[in-house]
Amino acid sequence: MIASLAIQHSKRLLWSVAPGVMRFKVSRRTHWKWSIGILVGDSPLQLNAPRQVKNPVLTCDDISDVHAGFVADPFMLRRDGIWYMFFEVLNLKTEMGEIGLATSRDGFSWEYQGIVLEGSRHLSYPHVFQFEGDCYMVPESWKSGAATLYRADQFPWRWSRVTNLLEGYRFADSSIFHHQGRWWMFSETSTPGHHGILKLFGSERPDGPWVEHPASPVVVGDICASRPAGRVIELDGRLIRFSQDPPPRYGTAVHAFEILELTPDVYRERPLSRSRVLGPGEESWNRDGMHHLDAHVLDDGSWIACVDGFRWV
């Protein structure tokens, strides 16, 4: 999520507390510009820009139906030979995030299609997945106090609300995945005075009911490990989750954690590496930070990922 407070065009917004509980100091001289890129590699932990791609592949300049301040939080899925990318679009008129769509045949060249989901509250982090032939989305809307499930009635354009999966907290960057016959969901639930809290929930089905895991919260007080940074993936039989590493400012980098054990009763994890999976890049579009990764394995065993990055301008 790029918080709805962080949306004033031509203002600089500095992150000063834990993600999910943000305050910003404002300078009128500069603002941050988020864009979306594509990376590839033999491993989702070692990704690089492909030679045939000029990153970023999507910027606010590509958005044709609203006056956009930035694009961020991309998620992809492949359906009938087409790649579909859903992502946050900051609408400068409403000062709220909306969910945009782009498509690609090869995963490298992308064409913006339009806004597919908007609401009365800020939307971001459109986590999309497939279940029993249907496509679902859990976008973040932390001000609503719920994590809400949507289903595509007419994919990819028309989405309808199914149900609130979770209620009672400000759920940030909820990330759903399937493992050993059950569905699981991470969600960051920090509140003022209680920073760096990552909760874990489980369910028999993605539409619920969801119950909190006995080991939850699985992270407390660690802002470098609590905020989800994209889809949970399986790599060589291991489950990997990604987290945002905010210092020195929101959106700086991404770290990986290996989930060592996940059952209805037990949860264990370890940092996969002390080095960052993603961080400030050498190109101008991501020179000041990266905070999101959605990686997918291809038929040849290599990986492709959509990522985001920002720079101060």
- How far apart CA 200 and CA 222 sit, in angstroms, is 15
What CATH code is carried by the domain that includes residue 23?
2.115.10.20
- Per-residue pLDDT, 17: 35
pLDDT digit string (tens) for 249-288? 888 999 999 999 999 999 999 999 767 999 999 889 999 9
Judge whether 1 lies within some domain: no
In DSSP terms, which residues pair with 240 in a beta bridge?
233, 258
Nearest by Cα to 187 from 147, 151, 223 = 147
Q: Round the average pLDDT of the chain to a whole number and report it.
A: 91
In DSSP terms, which residues pair with 48 in a beta bridge?
40
248: exposed, middle or buried (Cβ count in 10 Å: 0-12, 13-18, 19+): exposed
Contacting residues for 66 by C-beta, under 8 A, at least 6 apart: 89, 91, 92, 93, 98, 115
What is each CA distance from 287 to 50, 109, 228, 275, in whole angstroms? 18, 22, 21, 17
Helix then strand then coil, in percent of the chain rounded to 5, is 5, 55, 45
51: exposed, middle or buried (Cβ count in 10 Å: 0-12, 13-18, 19+): exposed
Judge whether 4 lies within some domain: no
Judge whether 255 lies within some domain: yes
109: exposed, middle or buried (Cβ count in 10 Å: 0-12, 13-18, 19+): middle
- How far apart CA 70 and CA 9 sit, in angstroms, is 9
Residue ranges for the chain with pLDDT beneath 70: 1-30, 193, 274
Judge whether 110 lies within some domain: yes
**Is the CB of residue 289 less than 8 Å from the CB of residue 273?**
no
- Per-residue pLDDT, 194: 72
The number of distinct structural domains making up the chain is 1
Q: Which domain holds residue 265?
A: 12-312
- Per-residue pLDDT, 278: 97
Q: Which residue matches tokens 């590839």? A: 40
Judge whether 3 lies within some domain: no
Contacting residues for 299 by C-beta, under 8 A, at least 6 apart: none
pTM of the model: 0.92
pLDDT digit string (tens) for 125-156? 999 999 999 999 999 998 899 999 999 999 99
- Per-residue pLDDT, 82: 99
Judge whether 2 lies within some domain: no
Judge whether 49 lies within some domain: yes
Judge whether 6 lies within some domain: no
